[in-house]
Amino acid sequence: MVFIHDTEMSLRAAAALVNTLPDTDTEGVDRLVSQQDFDAYLDEYAYTGTFHRDDDELAAVRANRPRLLELWSVDRDGAVPLVNAMLRDGRALPQLVIHDGFDWHIHATEPDAPLSVRMLVEAAMAFVDVIRSDQWDRVRICEADDCASVYVDFSKNGSKRYCDTGNCGNRMNVIAYRRRKAEESA
């Protein structure tokens, strides 16, 4: 295990949120527009605490995305001021908590803080772990020609090259195979 479980969960959730941006989508489509889109996201990435499920909440969560995306464009030292700013803006106060069948873990915001703030701080806390454990080279962008999805590599040997969203590994293998075939018959 590269990171502790809740850190990995938070990083997966952050990457998935960033991957709803048109910037990272192969078709340039924004995947977080409606409340329905947001419900689907929340079904997958369980957040606890207060939810409003209204337009303001969705707008605030959408606004987290470019801020998180920036983390995939900086190096480890460059990430530090971004992460610190997120913690500061979210008034992070780390506390150990236990609830809903999860083991002891850290919440750095109150359960009634705005959802967007809780999500941003949770992501920031996870990136703190990535920085502290000096694993920043695992914060990656998909290498497929036509994909800019972000991910964090949780593989043991750190050799993951493609995102999980677009079936990119398989697609690039097929392209490479066809290229080889074409070269062979040329």
- The tokens describing 146, both together, are 């036509």
Is residue 168 within the footprint of Zn ion (CB under 5 A)?
yes
Is residue 166 within the footprint of Zn ion (CB under 5 A)?
yes
CB of 173 to Zn ion, least distance (A): 13
The CA distances from residue 61 to 34, 107, 145, in Å, are 12, 18, 29
Is residue 147 within the footprint of Zn ion (CB under 5 A)?
yes
CB of 77 to Zn ion, least distance (A): 26
**CB nearer to Zn ion: pick between 80 and 164:** 164
Q: Do the beta carbons of residue 99 and residue 45 sit within 8 Å?
A: no
Q: Do the beta carbons of residue 185 and residue 39 sit within 8 Å?
A: no
| Burial class of residue 132, CB neighbours in 10 A (0-12, 13-18, 19+) | exposed
Is residue 113 within the footprint of Zn ion (CB under 5 A)?
no
Binds Zn ion (CB under 5 A): choice among 149, 150, 152, 160: 149
Is residue 152 within the footprint of Zn ion (CB under 5 A)?
no
Query: With CB under 5 A as the contact rule, which of the stretches 62-70, 76-84, 122-130, 168-176 interacts with Zn ion?
Result: 168-176
Is residue 144 within the footprint of Zn ion (CB under 5 A)?
yes
Q: Do the beta carbons of residue 128 and residue 110 sit within 8 Å?
A: no
CB of 185 to Zn ion, least distance (A): 29
Query: With CB under 5 A as the contact rule, which of the stretches 11-19, 84-92, 159-167, 171-179 interacts with Zn ion?
Result: 159-167
Is residue 121 within the footprint of Zn ion (CB under 5 A)?
no
Ramachandran assignment for 179, one of left (phi > 0), alpha (psi -120 to 50 degrees), beta (any other): alpha
